[in-house]
Amino acid sequence: MRKTEEKIRVGIIGAASLTSGVLLKLLANHRYATIVLLASETQDGQEVGDIHRFLRNILDLKTVRYNSDEVIEECDVVFFSKPHGEFLEGASDLINKARKIKPKIKFIDLSADFRLKDANSYKEWYGFVHKDEFLLESAVYGLSEVYYQEIKKAFLIANPGCYPTCTILSVAPLFGDQLVDIERAIIVEAICGVSGAGRKPNERNLAMEVEENIKPYKIGIHPHIPEIEQELGLLIKDKISALFVPHVASFKYGMLTTTYLKLQKEMVFEDIVERYREFYKNKPFIRIRKKGEYPEIQNVESTNFCDIGIQIDKRTDICIIMGCIDNLLKGAAGQAIQNMNIMFGLDETEGLPFSNILRRVNS
Amino acid sequence: MRKTEEKIRVGIIGAASLTSGVLLKLLANHRYATIVLLASETQDGQEVGDIHRFLRNILDLKTVRYNSDEVIEECDVVFFSKPHGEFLEGASDLINKARKIKPKIKFIDLSADFRLKDANSYKEWYGFVHKDEFLLESAVYGLSEVYYQEIKKAFLIANPGCYPTCTILSVAPLFGDQLVDIERAIIVEAICGVSGAGRKPNERNLAMEVEENIKPYKIGIHPHIPEIEQELGLLIKDKISALFVPHVASFKYGMLTTTYLKLQKEMVFEDIVERYREFYKNKPFIRIRKKGEYPEIQNVESTNFCDIGIQIDKRTDICIIMGCIDNLLKGAAGQAIQNMNIMFGLDETEGLPFSNILRRVNS
Amino acid sequence: MRKTEEKIRVGIIGAASLTSGVLLKLLANHRYATIVLLASETQDGQEVGDIHRFLRNILDLKTVRYNSDEVIEECDVVFFSKPHGEFLEGASDLINKARKIKPKIKFIDLSADFRLKDANSYKEWYGFVHKDEFLLESAVYGLSEVYYQEIKKAFLIANPGCYPTCTILSVAPLFGDQLVDIERAIIVEAICGVSGAGRKPNERNLAMEVEENIKPYKIGIHPHIPEIEQELGLLIKDKISALFVPHVASFKYGMLTTTYLKLQKEMVFEDIVERYREFYKNKPFIRIRKKGEYPEIQNVESTNFCDIGIQIDKRTDICIIMGCIDNLLKGAAGQAIQNMNIMFGLDETEGLPFSNILRRVNS
Amino acid sequence: MRKTEEKIRVGIIGAASLTSGVLLKLLANHRYATIVLLASETQDGQEVGDIHRFLRNILDLKTVRYNSDEVIEECDVVFFSKPHGEFLEGASDLINKARKIKPKIKFIDLSADFRLKDANSYKEWYGFVHKDEFLLESAVYGLSEVYYQEIKKAFLIANPGCYPTCTILSVAPLFGDQLVDIERAIIVEAICGVSGAGRKPNERNLAMEVEENIKPYKIGIHPHIPEIEQELGLLIKDKISALFVPHVASFKYGMLTTTYLKLQKEMVFEDIVERYREFYKNKPFIRIRKKGEYPEIQNVESTNFCDIGIQIDKRTDICIIMGCIDNLLKGAAGQAIQNMNIMFGLDETEGLPFSNILRRVNS
């Protein structure tokens, strides 16, 4: 086991985001990591406790302006937490430069900039041009439970989106075992807490718009669609299409996705659960609900768990799969730390909630 | 116009329920109705302001123990707001007796006891036996916008359930015009505020279970399913099957239903909207959202509106229809008052929020 | 009674504010008023249903750019709903001009611009200079229950702030009867829903800052302090000082103020209640709670009521008075409509929630 | 440092309470403790994951029926989490028996049963008779920051109430330094999340009663009053009286108390802060806000911190002190674990949120 004195030196670019707040919280509890650099364009030179008030008197750090040389020199691993497209060029430069000087340095991007394998998709879904095909190819999609082996060897992780994490994890065993009829589009209805709308004021994150309300948005045009289709397609080895209907709800943290599937053959709950248990053997963060029990936000809030509920509706022959995660933990910062742990050979639960007991259970 | 001195004399049986609270609030603002009798087994002899605290100092009334003769003598219309099955026998007796003595008296049942045409369904979905086939047949399903003419002539209204009201109103024009492919089951995902779980403490309505949470429940087994299937089947003149996936959410009032349909032929938004406008001509409580706009709870809260959103997803060829109502207004007490208005020849908006202006707009 | 064809023609300047949304909702239900003009700098030329989405399909009106001649020509009464200080000069010009051309026109300002009698206070508490001493003197402080007779004759109403309305109404009988020991400062702790922070995004109204939270702010420096001190001073005919400690809470609408007083002599609950009943005789919007019962937000939400709770703590000899209102109704738009009603000789409840029944009760 | 193999063996009596849920969560993350016994009368023989659903698949334990011999044999420390008075006799028997057989065993009672030094107070404030004067005398009031030395040596901890913890910690330096004028009663206004109303359904914890609402309750009669008066009296070495005005608010976790004090002499913010820093030197869970900054729930939620805000209002010469804690952590289970840590010679932050970093900061 890694000695505490040889801690992983961590840098964060985009340190003022909501997600970075959670990264910092998790890193503050991580036994083998130490935060050495926080870069923020918008909040340059500020106390971290002024940016993320809950960290006041806990972390004594100031943000700096981004400088690639400094980052390469000081860090063992760098998290990017910038809006999609905004740090794409910077990231390309930084990574390519770093790989020459300090080949062991690792990068984990929490934006969508390296998630889609097809560079053209960026134009269509995100509205910007992506030219760095080398990095797109090299990046490993950081869905920890599915790509564990690849993550271990990666230098660049494209940390998955929150909706894709929840959706894909909840149905992966069925797609991986080719059990889904993909003739018809799969339907995913998703409900996310307001933290999903970020920290910058906009029409989706004002209290008066959110409280005592629920709102569908971006039906069929949300940029997480190609990510879901890409990954489920890879699992089932075919092209699939998905209808995705997201909502913003009045709670702060967490999300629930419900996927409606037609299976290739008749299956009962017990069959399906067995596939899931096999697929997710020794995966500490996956919890499958008992028959007739469904996942709910409050059981995963502030944890890195993905709770999964399974129901077969006999009257209509539809298979309903529910996934539930904390969008900022398993859907962002939590999974990013899990990926860091895997990359550095640590127990994957290190620094994450319930690590003590999960480590014990799994070892 | 009805003179104010000849007010409709209203009685409520089950006056302590959440729904009765809303009935009382609406009736207090109704120009042509007056509350004459409140019966409550559980809260016999209490001030109405002690039961529904917001009515303190407004309504000066006490509840009485139920007595059928008194009800028949004093009331022109009687609302039943009792749990499903609990007042079935009482209602049968009362109605059959009343029809002999005072044939013009009207009844509006807010429970499910007269909604399903097939008496056997009650055993299957509600767990009690229903024997009064005459009343089942005579009862008019009180979906005001669909059965206006029948409601006018009815003596007994089966006031629709909240989920069925929202679901059926939002898709009725497509089913009425035979535009839906019913080969495959229709999928309805629904989200309801905690008021839907009633007033009696249970595991679904405690604050600690509800706040900052969202929970699926009764997937595929909710007793509103046969009601939805019956009514959509009547509209499309065929047998249909529906998967219904309800959730209880952290807001208090309102619900959103999302229905996923496959249409018989390719249609664009404008085609569909035109059908809706035609179907709902002069229906003051139906509001159809513009292209790309979706309904949301806060626009219908404390109103009798049903807001409808329509979206065609070209990528998957699925038609998504959203309906949004206040579950206690259009989904219960509001529609009940609307039905009373229709039965008594009043403007259907009387006593309902925005009545003043809606009356103006529609006349 | 005023004939419906001779409706009061209403104009609103600052039509995009939250408060204007409530004004519009109330006016839409008002039998004797009609909205003729909506001015908005920020949202010029827009459909009112695009600005206040809940009004979509109900009110068919567009905003215009402000023009004083048009306002004077078209309106019988004009509401100003602009941020403090922003329309002060405009208001001065408009009112002074209007009084020459059309002396019967009335003005109701929902900002603080005419509330403080001492022009110098504006510099100290609001940071702007106020020069129109004539209007400051002429303006009637529109606390409907206290200044009914003055409001009747006024041409300009300074509509009270939400905190002052709630605080003053809840303690006015004690100050009016000289029962309070003002040697020591009175303490007012107040809790307001997030609607109090307005519609423009700021650090106090983002969902992530407000939900599952409560925050004190502007302790001892809130500009409602001089308003409270002025009015309580006028009632008790002496100079008083108040400590005011406001909080923003996670609910949307409503506020609760708790005032801690030392009385001049020992009094019991019953004595005090009697004073209150006398002071507020025939005031339909004041409701005094029974002994041991306290006001709560949900009983006043979406109403124009002010609920008042009274408690004497024998152990410490402190008198605790709680007031509770909907900050956007009795604390803003509701009281503004009430004042309009009084100015135009209508029943003061007209157009306000429960008007039908309150009218009956009071006549 | 204690070896991991020699873990503290923990038992909980009353394992189904909300507080026990938090205890279990914290213990699951505690490196030097292991849960060996869960007793619950109401949920005997159940999986812990069925009682506290968020623990499903994490803790694999079943509750048992309480048996004193078993408890004494198996445990090093026992937490009592039963309603006030319900386990008083049982606790007396158990402790007195245990002290003969196994003198090193420790007890931490989360109820009020051993908090008040004066046995007669129980009759007056809690309505039951307390006879075990020996235990009342022996019990150490477990306010960790104030009674650290006493806790170290105690065999029975009376774990403080949530309101007293928050109130006393926030003002202790002023009382300890005799700076408060206690001629006049101190006023404490408190706002607590709904978790404070427990898990058993009652009129204060239903979602429909709590959401979008705030309610005062038990003004001047809350049983935390004698606890606050006792402890502040001990600090200032005099008899004091307090007016306590609690509210239940719509958030789930956390509380804010605001105390209004008159000081003996004029002091400025900086003076006061210096006293606080001195009083709370090396106390990792106390955080004092900067001038003009106030504590808020979301900064302490799910932590063991007590955030303190200080304000002097020059206009009225009143000193306003705000305290903010998570009522289930620092106000119950968190402080109980902190006390266990102190009793067993561990770092007091062990197993508590941010322990990793707090340990580093303090050592």
Instruction: State mean pLDDT over A192-221.
Output: 92
Instruction: State mean pLDDT over A97-120.
Output: 97
Whether the predicted interface score ipTM is above 0.90? yes
Strand spans (E) along D294-343: 306-313, 318-325
**What is the layout of strands, in order, in the sheet containing B318-325?**
B214-216, B242-249, B186-192, B255-261, B318-325, B306-313, B286-288
Instruction: State mean pLDDT over D176-190.
Output: 96
| pLDDT for D163 beyond 80 | yes
Rounded alpha-carbon distances, angstroms, from residue C197 to A20, A206, D193: 27, 11, 22
User: Helix crossing, D162-176 with D225-236: angle to 10°?
Assistant: 20
**CB-defined contacts A:C, below 8 A:** 54
Residue C57 with chain B: CB contacts under 8 Å:
287
Same domain, A310 and A183: yes
Same domain, D185 and D320: yes
Instruction: State mean pLDDT over B280-292.
Output: 96
Whether residue A211 contacts residue A267, with contact meaning beta carbons closer than 8 Å, is answered with no
Whether residue B337 contacts residue B351, with contact meaning beta carbons closer than 8 Å, is answered with yes
Instruction: State mean pLDDT over C207-227.
Output: 96
Identify the domain containing residue A323 by its residue range.
163-328
d(CA D216, CA C296) in angstroms, rounded, equals 8
Interval D247-290: pLDDT, tens: 999 999 999 999 999 999 999 999 999 999 999 999 999 999 99
Same domain, C54 and C199: no
With CA atoms as reference, report the closest residue to C309 among C324, C329, C298, C326.
C324
Tell me the CATH number at C34.
Answer: 3.40.50.720
Give the pLDDT band of residue B1 (cuts 50, 70, 90).
very low
Question: Cβ contact (<8 Å) for C316 and D216?
Answer: no
> What are the residues facing D324 on neighbouring strands?
D256, D307
Which contiguous run of DSSP H or E holds residue C228?
A: helix C224-236
Q: Which two tokens stand for residue C37?
A: 């003009």
Interval D62-120: pLDDT, tens: 999 999 999 999 999 999 999 999 999 999 999 999 999 999 999 999 999 999 999 99
With CA atoms as reference, report the closest residue to C160 among C350, C345, C8, C334.
C334
Same domain, D103 and D195: no
* Residues ≥6 apart with Cβ < 8 Å to C262: C180, C181, C183, C184, C317, C318, C319
For every residue of A20-66, DSSP letters joined together read HHHHHHHHHT-TTEEEEEEE-STTTT-BHHHHSGGGTTT---B-B--
Question: Cβ contact (<8 Å) for A219 and B251?
Answer: no
Residue D15 lies in a domain: yes
Binding-site residues on chain A for chain D (CB distance < 8 A): 28-31, 53-54, 56-59, 211-212, 287, 289, 296, 298-300, 302-303, 353-358, 361
Question: Cβ contact (<8 Å) for D209 and B210?
Answer: no
Give the pLDDT band of residue D1 (cuts 50, 70, 90).
very low
Same domain, C207 and C131: no
Question: Cβ contact (<8 Å) for C298 and B54?
Answer: yes
Residue B313 lies in a domain: yes
Which contiguous run of DSSP H or E holds residue A238?
A: none
C260 half-sphere exposure, CB direction, 13 A CA radius: 28
Binding-site residues on chain C for chain B (CB distance < 8 A): 28-31, 53-54, 56-59, 211-212, 287, 289, 296, 298-300, 302-303, 353-358, 361
Interval B55-111: pLDDT, tens: 998 898 999 999 999 999 999 999 999 999 999 999 999 999 999 999 999 999 999
Q: Which of B206, B209, B215, B301 to mutate to test the interface with D (most CBs of D within 10 A)?
A: B206
Residue D173 lies in a domain: yes
Same domain, B300 and B186: yes
Neighbouring subunits of A (3+ Cβ pairs under 8 A): B, C, D
Nearest chain B Cα distance for residue C308, angstroms: 12
Question: Cβ contact (<8 Å) for D54 and A30?
Answer: no
* Count of positions (residues) in chain B: 363
Residue D194 with chain B: CB contacts under 8 Å:
207-208, 211
Q: State whether residue C277 is helix, strand or coil.
A: helix
d(CA C318, CA C259) in angstroms, rounded, equals 10
| pLDDT for B338 beyond 70 | yes
In chain D, the residue whose alpha carbon lies closest to the alpha carbon of B249 is D207
The more confident residue out of C3 and A283 is A283
Interval D32-68: pLDDT, tens: 999 999 999 888 899 999 999 999 988 989 999 999 9
Residue A207 with chain C: CB contacts under 8 Å:
194, 197, 205-207, 209-211, 250, 252
Question: Choosing from A75, A162, A192, A324, which is the catalytic residue?
Answer: A162
pLDDT, residue C1, reads 44
Residue D309 lies in a domain: yes
Instruction: State mean pLDDT over A221-230.
Output: 98
**CB-defined contacts B:C, below 8 A:** 54
DSSP code at position B328: T
Residue D346 lies in a domain: no
Residue B32 lies in a domain: yes
Q: Which two tokens stand for residue C254?
A: 């409503």
Rounded alpha-carbon distances, angstroms, from residue C58 to A129, C61, C63, D180: 44, 9, 15, 59
Question: Cβ contact (<8 Å) for B208 and D250?
Answer: no
A300 half-sphere exposure, CB direction, 13 A CA radius: 35
B297 vs A212, A217, A313: nearest CB: A212
Interval B208-238: pLDDT, tens: 999 999 999 999 999 999 999 999 999 999 9
Burial class (CB in 10 A: 0-12, 13-18, 19+), B311: buried
Nearest chain D Cα distance for residue B193, angstroms: 10
Question: Cβ contact (<8 Å) for B354 and C302?
Answer: no
Whether residue B287 contacts residue B150, with contact meaning beta carbons closer than 8 Å, is answered with no
Give the pLDDT band of residue C43 (cuts 50, 70, 90).
confident
d(CA B246, CA B244) in angstroms, rounded, equals 6
Give the pLDDT band of residue D359 (cuts 50, 70, 90).
confident
pLDDT, residue D3, reads 55
Residue B194 with chain D: CB contacts under 8 Å:
207-208, 211
Residue A256 with chain B: CB contacts under 8 Å:
214, 216, 247
Nearest chain A Cα distance for residue C201, angstroms: 6
**Average per-residue pLDDT in chain C?**
95
Same domain, D230 and D306: yes
pLDDT, residue A316, reads 96
Tell me the CATH number at D171.
Answer: 3.30.360.10
Percent of chain B with pLDDT over 70: 98
Nearest chain A Cα distance for residue D298, angstroms: 7
Question: Cβ contact (<8 Å) for A201 and C202?
Answer: yes
**Average per-residue pLDDT in chain D?**
95
d(CA A151, CA A156) in angstroms, rounded, equals 9
Phi then psi dihedrals of residue D69, to 5 deg: -65, -45
**Average per-residue pLDDT in chain B?**
95
d(CA C197, CA A155) in angstroms, rounded, equals 46
| pLDDT for A363 beyond 70 | no
Nearest chain C Cα distance for residue A298, angstroms: 14
Nearest chain D Cα distance for residue B250, angstroms: 8
The catalytic residues of D are 162
Give the pLDDT band of residue A1 (cuts 50, 70, 90).
very low
pLDDT, residue A6, reads 86
Q: Which two tokens stand for residue D71?
A: 């408890």
Residue B53 with chain C: CB contacts under 8 Å:
296, 299
Same domain, B206 and B100: no
Strand spans (E) along chain A: 8-13, 33-39, 77-80, 106-109, 140-141, 156-158, 186-192, 214-216, 242-249, 255-261, 286-288, 306-313, 318-325
Instruction: State mean pLDDT over A274-286.
Output: 97
Binding-site residues on chain C for chain A (CB distance < 8 A): 18, 194-195, 197, 199, 201-202, 205-212, 250-252
**CB-defined contacts B:D, below 8 A:** 54
Instruction: State mean pLDDT over D331-357.
Output: 96
Same domain, B90 and B203: no
Same domain, D304 and D229: yes
D208 vs B205, B209, B212: nearest CB: B205
pLDDT, residue B185, reads 92
Instruction: State mean pLDDT over D354-358.
Output: 89
Residue B147 lies in a domain: no
**Average per-residue pLDDT in chain A?**
95
User: How many structural domains comprise chain A?
Assistant: 2
| pLDDT for C260 beyond 50 | yes
Nearest chain C Cα distance for residue B216, angstroms: 22
D57 vs A28, A287, A296: nearest CB: A287
DSSP code at position B54: G
C211 vs A18, A199, A211: nearest CB: A211
Instruction: State mean pLDDT over D323-345.
Output: 98
In chain C, the residue whose alpha carbon lies closest to the alpha carbon of B53 is C299
Residue C358 lies in a domain: no
Q: State whether residue D270 is helix, strand or coil.
A: helix
Residue D209 with chain C: CB contacts under 8 Å:
298
Same domain, B124 and B171: no
Task: Mark residue A98 as left, alpha or beta (left: phi above 0; alpha: psi -120 to 50; beta: remaining).
Answer: alpha
Instruction: State mean pLDDT over C23-36.
Output: 95
What pTM does this model have? Answer: 0.96
D54 vs A29, A289, A299: nearest CB: A299
Question: Cβ contact (<8 Å) for A309 and B216?
Answer: yes
Residue D205 with chain B: CB contacts under 8 Å:
206-208
Which contiguous run of DSSP H or E holds residue D117?
A: none
pLDDT, residue C3, reads 55
Q: Which of C54, C212, C287, C325 to mutate to test the interface with B (most CBs of B within 10 A)?
A: C54
Nearest chain D Cα distance for residue C357, angstroms: 25
Q: State whether residue D158 is helix, strand or coil.
A: strand
D201 vs B18, B206, B251: nearest CB: B206
Same domain, B167 and B260: yes
